[in-house]
Structures are given as C-alpha cells and as structure tokens.
Amino acid sequence: MSKLQDNISCVEVLSQNECEEIASKVLGLRDHWRDRGTFWTLGASTYNDEVMAYPGIAWQDNAILTRYFGKLLQEIADGFEQALKKPVIYLHTHGLPGFHIFDHTANNLEGSIHIDQPETRCWWPCETKDHFSFTLAIELPNGQGGMNLYEGDYETIENHTGPLPNPEYMPYEPGYLYMHDGQIIHQIANPIDMKPDQHRITLQGHGATLSSEQVVLYF
C-alpha cells in the first residue's frame, strides 16, 4: 500500500557533529530569535511576518544568518543545484532559509494542519512555478519529532467539524533533509514532551523557480 510519506524525499546532508555544532550556534543566538507565540524563528518567515514587513525583517535577519550559517546555506544551495540541475540563488528581497525553534513551552500544543503557500506572501520579479518546501532536522528531543501527514483534500480538512482522520506520522532524523511540494496536508509533530533543556530545531525553507529557470530558496 502506498504511504503518504512516499511523496516526501529525504536525503542525509549533515553529520551528527555538524548538527550539534549548528544547534549550539542557534541556541547561542537567542537574542536574535523572533518570538512567534508558541515557538521562535531565527530568520524572517513569509507565514509569520506581515507581507509588507517581510523584506525589511529579511534584510535584518539575513545578516545574522549569513554571518553564522553562511557555510551551511552555501551547502544547501549547492545540494539543491545538483539535485534539481538548475542554478540555485538567494534573493536579497527574501528571507534566507532559517530556523524553527521549539522548547518545552510547546508541550501539548497542536501544530496547525496546513499546506504551504509561502509564494503568495512575498513579492516576485516574475511568475514563479515548481514550488516546494524542505525541512532539515537539526536537533530533536530524544531524537523524536517529525511531521503528521493527512490524506484527503485540504478544503475538507480545513472545514472539518467532526473528528479528523488519523494522520500518518513521518519521523525525522537529525541531519536529514525532507522535501515535498507543499501540497500534502501536514502538521509539525512533537510526539514527546520536551524537558526544560531540550529543543526541536529545524532549518526551514521553500523553493520557487523563476521564469529564468533560477531556483530561489527562501523562508
């Protein structure tokens, strides 16, 4: 039987050591985290920031992301370039792929069930196509965490009144990057309670192809 997770591709991009180094840098940059209510981001994000404010926030936060995570961002762009066989670029008007950070204060909270449409919340120099989303797991509490995937069409799930169908849980592994077209109905899953010193840290990004066939990565 085919599984929903067959729609998600997965590739190892970081070693355990690299994940630990990145996580410790993210935690050390707490002064630069943006409070999103039940979690934080390090970086501007289309779905958290007002459309008009996004370029300014991106301009500010991109300075931090390039300063501390320049090598990682280059490696991510190189990896996508090889996989997609198209030039991959970062735009100055857009937030660079950035971090989602959760701690124990998110215990027992449900993530929103959604599809991704970040391309509708930012300016583009031309029409875009082939939108996709990716998540690179950096640190998970006791190695646990992933994404819930839901069968069905989004409208039905969005307007549901009764109980939701059971999701398929797709576990992440630190160091692995998960990529999908954003149209699969999904939800951040934090299946275990975090202790006060534990975090769920991921690098989150989206992709869009410009009419020039350049692929833009952004958050």
Please report, as ranges, the residues that interact with ligand AKG according to CB under 6 A.
100, 116, 133, 135, 147, 186, 188, 202, 204
Residue 62 interacts, among Fe ion, ligand AKG, none and using kind-specific CB cut-offs from 5 to 8 Å, with: none
Among ligand AKG, Fe ion, none, what does residue 147 contact (CB within 5–8 Å per kind)?
ligand AKG
Q: Which stretch binds Fe ion (CB under 5 A): 15-23, 68-76, 110-118, 164-172?
A: 110-118
Q: Are residues 113 and 132 in contact, defined by beta-carbon separation less than 8 angstroms?
A: no
Length of the chain counted residue by residue? 219
Strands 40-42 and 98-102: antiparallel
Name residue 119's amino acid. E
CB nearer to Fe ion: give 48 or 62: 48
In the bound state, the residue with its beta carbon closest to Fe ion is 116
SS3 track for 169-219: EEECCCCEEEEECCCCEEEEECCCCCCCCCCEEEEEEEEEEECCCCEEEEC
Q: Which is nearer to ligand AKG, 188 or 210 (CB)?
A: 188
| Contacting residues toward Fe ion, per CB under 5 A | 116
